[in-house]
């Protein structure tokens, strides 16, 4: 059962474009899903030393999803018009801009903080409380940030892979950042528990509905597939898409220093 973070259907495509401005490929966006455990444990991944425990939690989440969340999401998807779903997704995405602004500043990224602040102001005013994503229409987009990413930028190790009850894929570092993420959400300061819980449930259901068409893309061992794509996505996000230093772009590597005559000599 996941809250997170791919486009097959038209509805999901529009929603994911606005809610996940990370530029990931479709296979990486499906990581927010959770499914049943595979029947066999494959070669142990060094990033997942707690695989036995994680698979049990994974299976527990899948049961809850199959018999509770997924049917509700299917009903929501069936009765809710596409423009309304898009508006709901935009509303919650707009609330996340505050978290992005705070974490961008903590990471020393004032430019991205300015973009997220501008997005929040535009969408909250011209976009009517964020229901319309006018900022994206104006090509004002940036990277979404959370406290787990901030800890990564600060040099905190990601720790072992961890599957959380109800929440799904995580890492020890991301789990440690969850409380800060909760308290940087405007929903934490709504002085009405019923409204807070209601909005939180709507967010979960809307997000789950966006993944209904994506499950068919999962192949093989679902646990392994989702674990590996989640880890790739999070590393991608922490590095802002920089997958590593290119040695040919480094000052330490100069083609003028290479003796090609000696290299190809008999």
| DSSP letter for each residue of 157-194 | ---SEEEETTTEEEEHHHHHHHHHHHHTSGGGG-S-HH
Residue 251 lies in a domain: no
pLDDT in tens, the chain (266 residues): 444 433 333 434 444 444 443 333 333 333 334 433 333 445 688 999 999 999 999 999 999 999 999 999 999 999 999 999 999 999 999 999 999 999 999 999 999 999 999 999 999 999 999 999 999 999 999 999 999 999 999 999 999 999 999 999 999 999 999 999 999 999 989 989 999 999 999 999 999 998 888 887 887 888 999 999 899 999 999 888 765 444 334 444 344 444 434 444 44
Residue 2's pLDDT is what? Answer: 43
CA distances from 96 to 28, 70, 93, 160 (A): 20, 24, 5, 26
**So what's the pLDDT on residue 181?**
95
Q: Is residue 256 part of a domain?
A: no
89 part of a folded domain: yes
Q: Which two tokens stand for residue 44?
A: 């142990």
CA distance 195 to 105: 30
Q: Residue 137 is part of which domain span?
A: 10-241
Whole-model pTM over 0.85: no
* 260 within domain boundaries: no
Provide the number of structural domains found in the chain.
1
Question: Do the domain assignments include residue 265?
Answer: no
pLDDT at site 242? 67
Inside any domain, residue 220: yes
Residue 257 lies in a domain: no
Q: Is residue 205 in a domain? A: yes
- Give the pLDDT confidence score for residue 43 in this predicted structure: 65
Cβ atoms of residues 73 and 208 within 8 Å: yes
């Amino acid at each position: 059962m996941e809250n997170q973070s791919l486009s097959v259907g038209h509805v999901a495509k529009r929603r994911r474009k606005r809610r996940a401005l990370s530029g990931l490929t479709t296979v990486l966006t499906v990581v927010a899903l959770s499914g049943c455990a595979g029947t066999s444990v494959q070669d142990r991944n060094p990033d997942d030393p707690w695989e036995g425990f994680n698979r049990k939690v994974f299976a527990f989440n899948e049961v809850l999803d199959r018999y509770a969340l997924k049917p509700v999401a299917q009903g929501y998807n069936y009765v809710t018009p596409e423009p309304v779903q898009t508006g709901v997704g935009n509303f919650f995405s707009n609330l996340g801009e505050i978290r992005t602004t705070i974490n961008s500043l903590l990471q020393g990224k004032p430019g991205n903080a300015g973009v997220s602040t501008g997005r929040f102001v535009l969408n909250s005013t011209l976009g009517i409380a964020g229901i319309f994503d006018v900022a994206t229409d104006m090509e004002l987009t940036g990277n979404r940030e959370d406290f787990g990413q901030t800890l990564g930028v600060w040099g905190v190790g990601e720790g072992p892979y961890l599957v959380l009850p109800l929440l799904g894929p995580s890492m020890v570092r991301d789990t440690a950042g969850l409380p800060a993420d909760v308290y940087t959400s405007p929903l934490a300061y709504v002085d009405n528990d019923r409204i807070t819980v209601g909005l939180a449930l709507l967010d979960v259901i809307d997000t789950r509905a966006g993944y209904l068409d994506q499950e068919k893309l999962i192949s093989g061992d679902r646990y392994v597939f989702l674990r590996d794509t989640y880890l790739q996505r999070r590393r991608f996000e922490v590095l802002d898409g920089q997958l590593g230093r290119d040695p040919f772009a480094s000052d330490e590597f100069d083609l003028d220093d290479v003796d090609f005559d000696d290299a190809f000599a008999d």
